[in-house]
């Protein structure tokens, strides 16, 4: 089901009151860290029952890659690879991919949206969207995207987390792929969140951009089905 095929009665942009829905998804990469920094992070994660220095050192070396990869989930250490977004229910998602200026390019696009032109606030919508918003705020502030940062939500009423709606706010984690399968919706094959870094290393940049934009569309379709 594409956005243009959503059943009748879906509110169009401008019919949602003063809040305009902005659907977002980001993909992240591990941080730009040197070996010593990664080793220091790994040292903090050594199980407490490991006390022998030689066993401790071996555990650290064995887990360096795992610890480094997990920095992609840490907003203070990871990097933003791409940002996909769509305004309202019907617009095609756009994706801003790669480069140190990805936050600034997203900000520039955001300033041209219908909501921005009419000085309306956004409801920021996505799957586990609070993860995305933390990266957008911290990295946007560091990149100098001041307009973007001031438009990010400060209140829960400005956020729609479709994952939370799907789990009835029970603080359970539900994969977007599993929700899509439940509803019989197609999700991009060959890539998921755990494979983004590997796909990036292989130079699959177009696939990653499509994957990110596809998740925006998929989340929007699931939100409609859930009545969110």
Task: Give the pairing of strands 79-87 and 94-97.
Answer: antiparallel
Q: Of 31-45, 189-203, 204-218, which range is least confident? A: 189-203
At residue 149, what are phi and psi to the nearest 5 degrees? -60, -40
**pLDDT exceeds 80 at position 12:** no
What's the predicted TM-score (pTM) here?
A: 0.85
Which residues on adjacent β-strands are paired with residue 122? 20
Secondary structure of residue 71 in the 3-state scheme: helix
**pLDDT exceeds 50 at position 179:** yes
pLDDT band with cut points at 50, 70 and 90 for residue 203: very high
Domains of the chain and CATH, by start: 3-30+81-226 (3.30.420.10), 35-71 (no CATH)
Reported residue count of the chain is 228
Q: What would the pLDDT profile of 67-78 be if each residue is shown by its tens digit?
A: 999 999 999 999
Q: Of 124-133, 142-151, 183-192, which range is least confident? A: 183-192
């Amino acid at each position: 089901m594409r956005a243009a095929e959503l059943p009748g009665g879906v509110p169009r942009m401008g019919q949602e009151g003063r809040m305009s829905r902005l659907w977002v998804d980001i993909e992240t990469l591990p941080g730009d860290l040197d070996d010593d920094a990664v080793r220091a992070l790994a040292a903090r994660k050594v199980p407490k029952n490991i006390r022998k220095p030689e066993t401790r050192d071996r555990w650290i070396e064995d887990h360096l890659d795992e610890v480094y990869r997990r920095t992609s989930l840490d907003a203070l250490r990871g990097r933003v690879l791409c940002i996909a977004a769509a305004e309202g229910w019907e617009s095609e998602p756009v994706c801003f991919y790669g480069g140190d200026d990805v936050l600034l390019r997203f900000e520039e696009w955001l300033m041209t949206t219908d909501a921005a032109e009419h000085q309306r606030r956004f409801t920021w919508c996505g799957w586990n969207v609070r993860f995305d918003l933390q990266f957008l705020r911290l990295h946007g502030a560091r990149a100098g995207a001041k307009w973007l940062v001031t438009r990010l939500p400060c209140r829960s009423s400005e956020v729609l987390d479709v994952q939370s709606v799907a789990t009835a706010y029970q603080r359970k984690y539900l994969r977007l792929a599993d929700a899509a399968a439940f509803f019989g919706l197609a999700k991009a094959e060959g890539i998921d969140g755990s494979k983004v870094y590997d796909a990036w290393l292989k130079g699959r940049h177009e696939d990653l951009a499509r994957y990110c934009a596809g998740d925006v569309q998929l989340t929007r379709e699931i939100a409609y089905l859930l009545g969110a």
